[in-house]
Amino acid sequence: MEDKPITESDKRAIRTMVAMGCEITVAAQALGWNSEQLADELHSNPAFASEVEQAEGQAQFHFVRSLHSASKDEKHWRAATWWLERRAQKQFALRGSRAWTDAELVAFLDSLTTIIVKSVSNLEDRQQLLADLGSLAQGETHTSEGALK
C-alpha cells in the first residue's frame, strides 16, 4: 500500500482533532497517515510539530477549565476528584492494596541494588543481574526460559 501524500489540509485537520483532545496518532490514522509518515513529518517540520504541541496544550486547558467549572457545583464533586487523582497522584490517586508509587518503587530498587552489590561477589554475575533488573525496570519481560526478550 502506497503512502498517502501529506497535504496542508491534512495538517490543519490534525491540529483541529488534537485541539479537540484526540491523540495525534489516532488523528493521523483517521487521515490515512501511517506512523512513519507522522514521525517523519513531525521531525522534518518543526513548525508543524510546534503547532501540534500547542494544540495538545489547548485541549488540556479546555478540559481542565471544564473540570474546574463543573467542580464549583457541589453535586459535581467527581470532577474535582478526577482532577486530583491525576494531578496530585502521590496524595490522591486510587491504588490497589498492592500498588506502589513511583517513589516507593525507586526506593525498593535502590535497596535491592545495594543488596545485590553486597551479596554477589562475582563481578560478571553482579553486572548481568543489575543489567537484567535495569531492563525489567524499563518494561522488558522474560521468556519462559528466563532470558530477557
Domain residue spans in the chain? 8-92, 95-149
| Range among 2-11, 82-91, 116-125 rated most confident | 116-125
Confidence of residue 87 (pLDDT cuts 50, 70, 90): confident
- Between 106 and 141, the more confident residue is 106
Which 3 state secondary structure label does DSSP give 69? helix
| Range among 30-39, 74-83, 130-139 rated most confident | 30-39
In this prediction, residue 60 carries a pLDDT of 86
In this prediction, residue 1 carries a pLDDT of 46
Question: How does DSSP assign 89-133, residue by residue?
Answer: HHHH----TT---HHHHHHHHHHHHHHHHHH---HHHHHHHHHHH
> Would the pLDDT of 136 be above 60?
yes
DSSP 148: B
| Mean predicted confidence (pLDDT) in 130-146 | 70
| Residues in Cβ contact with 10 at an 8 Å cutoff, skipping those fewer than 6 apart | 31, 33
Decide if 49 contacts 15 (C-beta within 8 A): no
